[in-house]
Amino acid sequence: MKTVLVSAPYMLPELDRFRPVFESYDIKLIIPEVNERLSEEQILIHAGKFDGTICGDDRYTRRVIEACAPRLKVISKWGTGIDSIDQTAAREFGIMIGNTPNAFTVPVSESVIGYMLAFARQIPWLDNAMKAGDWEKINGKTLSECTLGVIGVGHVGKAVLRRARAFGMHLLGNDIVEMPPDFLLEFGVEMTSLEDLMTRADFISINCTLNPTSYHLINADSLRFCQPTAVLINTARGPIVDQKALVDALQEGRLSGAALDVFEEEPLPLNSPLLSMDQVLLAPHNTNSSPRFWERVHWNTIKNLLLGLGLPLDDLSKFMKKES
């Protein structure tokens, strides 16, 4: 019998539906109480007691991986990002890491478009004024009058640019990877430096992965390049942005607004200055919200778990067919 620690917040409410799958593979489940993610200490409580895990953004640091090895064979991440896992340590201890690339491209890219429309058309502020009893005609603009700069032109970044093209926006991109020339030509994307993008863009969308080179990529220095009318949108990972530097830029009027789905500390502390800023739109790490795409990730996460445990996938296919 294998034992699996299940802590992925989006899978836990659906777990009863998947219990027959685990039972068919003779897998015992450990189900801890989870508030967004497990810390090092919370995982260490179970160290040495599980063979695999289905996790969210739990802190699988070197310390945790060393304590969980050699029994731990697979970390099956629910979703795409694996920045909370020490990948070097996992390789050293022969632990497989599984994830679902391109998992939430559609819902995340649609959220970016939604944020840009909200700011360009001033929709939340018009609504607030009306409900406060003010018949105030706040000026907006169309997206076709705006320049979008996308930092990180991967799956999500490309999807954002494709959708923005339909609104007639001028498009800028920045990435350390060379982009296919056919994509750039088809969608009219100009690749440029980070400084140039920050200087010219009305909307700056962060869509890169979090790694040592992107940590605090948006900081006090890079924010100085922004137009005071620019809006920063982060739907990627919180630590890509130096949150204190962002708060300073917003408070000093060096940035017009921000839309943030992710934060350096999650959940966002109740004393954060961001919570009292009218020019900031906030969400609780929720741009992946989509039952259709969640379902795909549920099954792929279980598949990765079974692969890492060395179990056959034949029975899983039968369960998937029943659900479809």
**Catalytic-labelled residue, pool 37, 59, 285, 298:** 285
Measured in degrees and rounded to the nearest 5, phi and psi for residue 96 equal -75, 140
155 has catalytic annotation: no
Helices (H), the chain: 15-24, 40-44, 62-68, 87-92, 105-121, 123-131, 155-166, 181-187, 194-200, 220-223, 243-251, 291-309, 314-323
70 prior amide bond cis, ω within 30: yes
266 has catalytic annotation: yes
- Report the SS3 class of residue 77: strand
- Report the SS3 class of residue 191: strand
Measured in degrees and rounded to the nearest 5, phi and psi for residue 313 equal -100, 0
Quote the CA–CA distance of 234 and 267 in Å, as a whole number: 15
**Catalytic-labelled residue, pool 165, 266, 295, 296:** 266
**Catalytic-labelled residue, pool 59, 155, 237, 298:** 237
Judged on CB neighbours under 10 Å (0-12, 13-18, 19+), 266 is middle
User: Which residues are marked as active site?
Assistant: 237, 266, 285
